[in-house]
Amino acid sequence: MTDSLKIIVYKSGSDLENGMHELLKRLAKEAIAARGKFTLGVSGGSMAKQLTAAVPDIYPKGQEEWKKWHVFFCDERIVAFDDKESTYGDYKKNLIAKVPELESQFVVIDPSKDAENNALHYHNQLVQRFGNAMFPIFDLLLTGMGPDGHTCSLFPGHPLLEERRKWVAAITDSPKPPPSRITLTLPVLNHARNVAFIVAGSNKAEAVKKVLEDQEKLPSGMVQPQSNGGKLYWMLDSEAASGLKNTRTHTEL
Ligand SMILES: O=C1O[C@H](COP(=O)(O)O)[C@@H](O)[C@H](O)[C@H]1O
């Protein structure tokens, strides 16, 4: 594990959401001061609800600062936006309903394209915003973790873990439905300035222990953003952290 790792344990899910609020507010301020914009990658599943609680009060309604946020997907499922599995659909119904200023700031997939074409389409959208560098450098990637240790759509034992060149990859055999998705690759995760894992619930405790204490080679443990002096946060609720016995944790960011 990297030296710049910080593990923070919150008493409850709502304390964890407050921690996300604090991290987003601080990193957005720093990024906007340094580069005039804040590039954020968000994940699906339980994160849409957590961000819907954490984001809205960062600025007052109508504030210009929202337009400096550029929001991307760490991974996205290739389904129509009105499908219950659509990550963007989830953000639109919940977060965007509360912060309409963010709607135009999301960089979305094209659900009419297949996974391969979407990966290319999303790559091109990233090139437009980040330029043609070796890899894009996100200010913050917010990632979740499944009970099997997967993160984004990078699953244990899957050949996509070997990807070293692409920014965005297609996956059509995701072990977790729906099967067809796109995902940021490990090198992109590892070039970010900040990556924060947001993990809550007792069903994640075993995977948290495997990654943080036993150093098992699960996809989530392969995320170590060091290329740009990157910082790695693991933000856990007390249930998700309940298996950690020998790991130094913090109670504040
Ligand atoms: O399928 C996915 O799973 C992970 C974890 O989801 P959670 O609901 O267990 O938090 C999520 O981070 C990823 O974006 C999503 O596509």
ipTM: 0.98
Q: What pLDDT score was predicted for residue 226?
A: 86
Catalogue all structural domains in the chain, each as residue range(s) with its CATH number: 5-57+67-237 (3.40.50.1360)
- Contact between 189 and 183 under an 8 Å Cβ cutoff? The reply is no
- Contact between 45 and 90 under an 8 Å Cβ cutoff? The reply is no
Q: What pLDDT score was predicted for residue 3?
A: 61
Q: What pLDDT score was predicted for residue 62?
A: 87
pTM exceeding the 0.80 threshold for the entire prediction: yes
Residue 150 CA: nearest ligand 1 atom is: 4
Residue 143 CA: nearest ligand 1 atom is: 12
To test ligand 1's pocket by mutation, which of 143, 150, 183 has the most ligand atoms within 8 angstroms of CB?
A: 150
To test ligand 1's pocket by mutation, which of 20, 46, 91, 189 has the most ligand atoms within 8 angstroms of CB?
A: 46
Residue 147 CA: nearest ligand 1 atom is: 9
CA of 34 to the centre of ligand 1 (A): 31
Residue 87 CA: nearest ligand 1 atom is: 16
Ranges of residues in the chain whose predicted pLDDT is under 70: 1-3
Q: What is the C-alpha separation between 101 and 97, in angstroms, rounded? A: 9
CA distances 158 to 46, 134, 250, Å, are 23, 24, 33
